Amino acid sequence: MYKIEKFSKNIYMKKIISIFLIVLFLSIFLIINVNLKISYAESKRYIYDGTNLDTSKYPGFKERLDIIKAKHPNWNFVIMETGLDFEQVIKAQYTGHLATPKNLIQGKSGGWICSICGDRVYDTGNWKCASEETIRYYIDSRNWLVDSPYLFQFLQTDYLETTDDKVYNSLNGTFLYSKDNATVINRVCREKNANPYYVIARLIQEQGNAGGVTSKMVDTDGTVYYNLFNIGASGNSKEEVYNNALARAKKEGWTSIEKCLSDGITFLFSSYINNKQNSIYLNKFDVETYGGVYVRQYMQNVEAPKSEGTSMYNKMKSAGLLDEKLTFIIPVYENMQSTTSTSPDSRTEAYPKNIRVKEGHSNVMIRAGRSTTSTPIGKIADSSVVVLSVERYSDGWHRVVLEDGTIGYVKFNSSYLEEIDDLTNCHEEVTVTKDDVILRVGPGLDHIEVTTLTKGQVIHRIDNTGRYNIDGKIWDRVVLTDSRQGFVARENLQVIDYSESFYVNAEGGLYLRATPAGEIIRKLENGSIVTRLEAGTKLGNYTWDKVITEDGVIGYVAREYLIKKDGEEVPDETPSNEIEENTVNNNITVPDNELENEEENNIIENEIEIDNNVEDEETNPDNTVGEDGTLPEEGEDIPPEDGGIETDRVLIVEPKATAESIEGATITRNGETIKGNTMLATGDIATIGNDSYTIVKKGDCNGDGYVKANDYLIIKDYIMETGTAKLEGAYKTAADVTGDSQVKANDYLKIKDHIMYGVEV
């Protein structure tokens, strides 16, 4: 019995185990089957025709698309219905905390940073985990559906027909700038059906314009390796990132740029593009269900689609490809809110502003965070220390940066802190020398981005003291034409010297080129003015100077077709050691039909002596001046100036002076008395007792009483002799705002600064 009973129990157990295994097998089979069906389903894609988008299901897309389509009728927009719930996408992206977050962000604070990871740093130590609100903001495609470079994160990355020369020009300013590299990139991209400008944008994103540490690595045995796309370059320290990048390069045998480029592009397309992730946005956010979602995400940088899209836009713009038939893929999600996702910015202001401790107060605490319990990291000693505030929060805290780069927070209390005027030591017009230059609210890489500047953009520098030497760069404070302020690394700026302005002297016009003897940018008319930025190189039959046009376009022209005001040729200032004989292609010439016969023109002379010299107050206390430049004898009348104005003396007033500003004076204009708050104007007559004075309002060159754009244009035309402007008598004295007894470019710039930035004249 015992044996029989034991045998029966064994059979029973075997049956149970068999049934369990069958159920387990069927469950795994069903799960795999279901997963296969899900992972290889595709998004629904179709070309938007203006009518075929469900606005109730996908709100906020049609209006934006219609605006862009109207401006760019050649562009096509593909709607990509992901089939994914928007909130579920956000939750799936908001993972990896305290280990490997899916999304990192740099140079942000406050609501941009994940509350779980807090100040924990990742990668090379400059990155923090992005908050859920940040991810939502960047994934919401409606935020970037505008006619701007940001749109190009959606550009379909299929090959766009272009030439090796155009690719070569787009590499200008980068570490890859060579014709060999351009040929390799264009050839491999054509073979792999990849947009070469997408590839270049990716390279710049990974390595920067100058090339990062992984762009060229030397092994212990002296072998040079390249990892241009940073494939496998992961880690939470610079050393770890470098070692992993080198290990992958050694494994793949990337001992040449060509091999690295070819394999890297292949990697991008085999892993991403072939899985229908065929845009920068889709490279970052894997929301294409073909092949599984959230699996292949090329980068952790949540801002990468925006920045790489901008870079690609600039490269394509310089290549003249923006009018081509481009296709953009626009992802849409299920259950999106009716309004676009907003920035997680908890600041009330984000631009540079200066603060200091009030007199009689001292030792104001700087803390590591926005809390009185946060760790103290420094103090503002007294009122002699000026502190730069870069962000102001709704809770009263300021994010500040000291001159040594220390970043902290100060609770602003008006009882012991005060705001002061901007710190300025100069007013210079400078031009941006590269594409994709970031303007930041503060000096250093750990400050938020204001905007991206483009090569050739003209901006205004107000601080070039070099007081901020942070992250290995000197940071200058600048102002844009729309009044936004920020800081730019000085290495990306170049002062515009208007004394180097010349006329085009070619009857049939002169071509402005992207490179010496290179691709044509535009035709400059005979007599147009260019300002030389760099003395050029000899190439073929011509010397090519780098210039900027009056509307801010940078390029190269043949110096032989530029002349000075007096018709003389522009002097040769080419550095003697700049050109090596073996780099000159003497077969390169400019076609005869693009440079026509020379014709002499009158050219700018930047320093013109003024007939009416205004003496300083020590030598001329009455501010009087004779028409011949000499002081009148006591009681002698000065001859009438042109225009019939008779005066005994000249009276210089400020730009905001009104009739009531001169106490006890009777002011007349064209024989009629003016009173009260009527603005004084150059040419008015002030009578005080028995004495009469001609009013000279500094900067008011046309006598309308105001210092406006018309005034600096009059000076510019007068200096360059490009118009009919005449400056004589009091009006010429008004134009000499620098007080150096000359009317020249500095006067023009100072009036322009007064109008745009409030600089005193």
Quote the pLDDT of residue 564.
82
- In angstroms, the CA 559 to CA 734 distance is 36
pLDDT at 757: 58
Rounded to whole angstroms, the maximal C-alpha distance in the chain is 149
Is the pLDDT at 585 greater than 80? The verdict is no
Residue closest to 149 by CA, chosen among 312, 269, 263: 312
Higher per-residue pLDDT: 374 or 461: 461
At 323 the pLDDT is 84
Give 660-705 pLDDT, tens digit per residue: 888 888 999 988 899 888 889 999 999 988 888 999 998 898 888 8
Is the pLDDT at 587 greater than 90, yes or no?
no
CATH architecture assignment, domain 347-420? Roll (2.30)
Q: pLDDT at position 24, please?
A: 53
What pLDDT sits at residue 265? 83
Which runs of E-coded beta strand occur in 66-170?
76-85, 104-106, 121-122, 127-129
- Contact assessment for residue 304 and residue 132, using Cβ atoms and an 8 Å cutoff: no
Predicted confidence at residue 588, as pLDDT, reads: 36
Beta partners for residue 401, in sequence order: 388, 407
Would you list the DSSP string of 216-249?
SEE-TTS-EE--TT-TT---SSHHHHHHHHHHHH
Confidence of residue 439 (pLDDT cuts 50, 70, 90): very high
pLDDT at 21: 55
613-757: CATH class: mainly alpha
Burial class (CB in 10 A: 0-12, 13-18, 19+), 327: middle
Task: Note the pLDDT tens digit of each residue in 493-540.
Answer: 988 876 778 889 988 889 999 888 888 888 898 888 888 888 887 888
Domain 428-495, what architecture?
Roll (2.30)
Is the confidence at residue 591, as pLDDT, over 50? Answer: no
Confidence of residue 285 (pLDDT cuts 50, 70, 90): very high
> pLDDT grade, residue 709 (50/70/90)?
low
- The yes-or-no verdict on residue 728 having pLDDT over 70 is yes
- Closest CA relative to residue 353, chosen from 377, 389, 406: 389
pTM above 0.85, yes or no: no
Nearest by Cα to 267 from 230, 294, 319, 237: 230
* pLDDT of 736 over the 80 cut: yes
Question: Residue 403 to residues 288, 466, 475, 634: CA-CA distances in angstroms?
Answer: 47, 10, 11, 56
Asked whether 182 and 171 are in contact (CB, 8 A), the reply is: yes
Structure letter (DSSP) for residue 155? B
pLDDT band at 590 (very low <50, low <70, confident <90, very high): very low
Q: Describe the chain by its helix, strand, coil percentages, rounded to 5.
A: 30, 25, 45
Confidence of residue 572 (pLDDT cuts 50, 70, 90): low
Please list, residue by residue across 238-259, b when 16 or more beta carbons sit within 10 angstroms of its beta carbon and e when fewer do.
eeebbebbbebbeebebeebbb
Tokens for 11, please give them.
């059979």
Residue 578 pLDDT: 35
Q: Say how many C-beta atoms besides its own lie within 10 A of residue 422's C-beta.
A: 14
Using one digit for the tens of pLDDT, what is the confidence trace for 355-372?
A: 999 999 999 999 988 788
Beta carbons within 10 angstroms of residue 76's beta carbon: 16
DSSP-derived 3-state class of residue 749? helix
Please state, in angstroms and rounded to a whole number, the distance separating the CA atoms of residues 229 and 245.
9
**Is the pLDDT score of 586 beyond 80?**
no
Give the Cα separation of 527 and 524 in Å (integer): 8
Q: Residue 636 — very low, low, confident or very high, per pLDDT cuts 50/70/90?
A: very low
- Mean pLDDT for the chain overall: 79
pLDDT category of residue 344 using cuts at 50, 70 and 90: confident
pLDDT of residue 491: 95
Task: Give the model's pLDDT for residue 755.
Answer: 67
d(CA 277, CA 741): 66
Measured CA to CA, the distance from residue 286 to residue 577 in angstroms comes to 52
Q: Which carries the bigger pLDDT value, residue 404 or residue 8?
A: 404
Q: What is the CA radius of gyration of the chain?
A: 34
* Per-residue model confidence (pLDDT) at position 11: 54
Q: What phi and psi, each to the nearest 5 degrees, are found at residue 532?
A: -75, 130
The answer for 492, left when phi > 0, alpha when psi is -120 to 50, beta otherwise, is alpha
Give the residue among 279, 284, 208 at the shortest CA–CA distance from 436: 208
pLDDT of 128 over the 80 cut = yes
Percent of the chain with pLDDT over 90: 32
Pick 746 or 114 by higher pLDDT. 114
- What would the mean pLDDT of 316-338 be, rounded to a whole number? 89
pLDDT at 595: 39
Q: What CATH homologous superfamily does 498-594 map to?
A: SH3 Domains (2.30.30.40)
